[in-house]
A = this chain, B = another copy of it.
Amino acid sequence: MSDDLIKVTYRLETPGDLAGLAAKIASDQSTGTFTDLPGETAAVKARCAARVLSLTPLPDAAVPSFPSAGGPFHRADVVIGYPLEAVGTDIAALMTITVGGVYAVRGLSGVRVIDFDLPPAFARHPGPQFGIDGSRALTNVYGRPIIGSIIKPALGLAPADTALMVKELCDAGVDFIKDDEKLMSPGYSPLAERIAAVMPVIDAHQQRTGKRVMYAWGISSADPDIMMQNHDLVVAAGGNAAVININSVGYGGMTYLRKRSQLCLHAHRNGWDILTRHPGLGMDFAAYGKIWRLLGVDQFQINGIAAKYWEPDESFVRSFHSCATPIFSAADRPLPVVGSGQWGGQAIETYARTGQTTDLMYLGGGGIHGHPGGAASGVAAIRQAWEAAVQGISLADYAKDHKALAQALEKFGPK
């Protein structure tokens, strides 16, 4: 009855016995404790006991992921099946039972959650309200990436200054603008005042050009009531999107919002890095992303090629493919948001390594604002770079008769 099993793949590492460790996890995370109990009967075990479904050995590691004595450190990918009956479909239960406790098990020198294989009952979760199709419909951008920018500097601009920058970006031709994830509603730029300053710029641009630029507002709050008030302010002003710092609002904040949301939810996974940066510890994006997609992420920031942060390109590419893969249906795919240090120069490699798709958002912050020809040239350079990528032309060749791209290459390209 695999339909009734939640299958979780763990990469386990231990100086001890792998099979024994796997069996201990299956026991600890369902019916067991540290000593035999009169109540742990055969009937209870049959109803709720988790069990090891497979153990695929990997090469030993010389260095342990958690500092540990002994060695060598044996590794394996282990799949444990949890009866749906024992867990249910609540994400809090899933994470508590199949993830939280596993990180605490004694005798591990490393543990990483690789993936969840969830039974169809989990399809009850709402998933994205807008996703790829909705993001395209709201921006009216088809056949190329949605091009976005971020208000910079991240912190410190008064609402009137933000509005000036929004005007510049609208005039520059962006499809999407977002508050930096660090900007929510600080004293110097309360959300209500920022909305009051910025929305007229977006409205005026639409009246003049017919183009409605999507603006994602930093509505995150640890208090769901305040987040909903923020959401309602955006909706009342005619806004259509929001930046959600998913780890900083938590599953509860996200669930509460999604049930009531009229906005396209652009997820920033700020804080996730500590869960994934050590390859032997934590969680793969494949697992992490699935949970947040089920909860309703529409657009998912996943860095990009040559990002300014630590993340290697291979990790970004895996995240992209994970986003592009349905969990239960095509509608649960979020729009991948490619950002961080992007200026167009990564378009060709991004296109080549992500399945030659343009179903993505491409975000430039400093790459647009810092373009020597100004923001309009920054946007143009990115569009030109993507044209080159899709047409299979090198950036250097395409830059010969595309000045904005040429300037970007000169400033941001390899020296």
Q: Is the CB of B251 within 8 A of A222?
A: yes
Q: Is the CB of B188 within 8 A of A226?
A: no
Q: Is A104 an interface residue (CB 8 A)?
A: yes
For A104, give its contact among B67, B184, B309, B366 (CB under 8 Å): B309
For A156, give its contact among B63, B86, B245, B283 (CB under 8 Å): B86
Cα distance A279–B278 in the bound complex, in angstroms: 13
Q: Is the CB of A255 within 8 A of B223?
A: yes
Q: Is the CB of B252 within 8 A of A223?
A: yes
Interface string of A44-88 (1 = CB under 8 A from B): 110111000000000000010111000000000000000001111
Chain B min CB distance to A269 (Å): 8
Q: Is the CB of B222 within 8 A of A270?
A: no
Q: Is A254 an interface residue (CB 8 A)?
A: yes
Number of interface residues of A (CB under 8 A): 103
Chain B residues with CB under 8 A of A63:
63, 67
Cα distance A275–B200 in the bound complex, in angstroms: 43
Q: Is the CB of A85 within 8 A of B188?
A: yes
Chain B residues with CB under 8 A of A272:
100, 103
Chain B residues with CB under 8 A of A48:
153, 155-156, 188
For A88, give its contact among B92, B181, B187, B309 (CB under 8 Å): B187
Cα distance A152–B270 in the bound complex, in angstroms: 37
Chain B residues with CB under 8 A of A152:
33, 37, 39-40
Q: Is the CB of A90 within 8 A of B221?
A: yes
Cα distance A373–B99 in the bound complex, in angstroms: 35
Q: Is the CB of B88 within 8 A of A184?
A: yes
Q: Is the CB of B220 within 8 A of A273?
A: no
Q: Is the CB of B270 within 8 A of A101?
A: yes
Chain B residues with CB under 8 A of A156:
30-31, 40, 43-45, 47-49, 86
For A252, give its contact among B30, B37, B222, B412 (CB under 8 Å): B222
For A185, give its contact among B29, B36, B88, B279 (CB under 8 Å): B88
Chain B residues with CB under 8 A of A36:
370
9 contacts between A and B (CB under 8 A): A30-B182, A31-B155, A35-B412, A100-B273, A103-B274, A104-B277, A108-B310, A253-B253, A278-B278
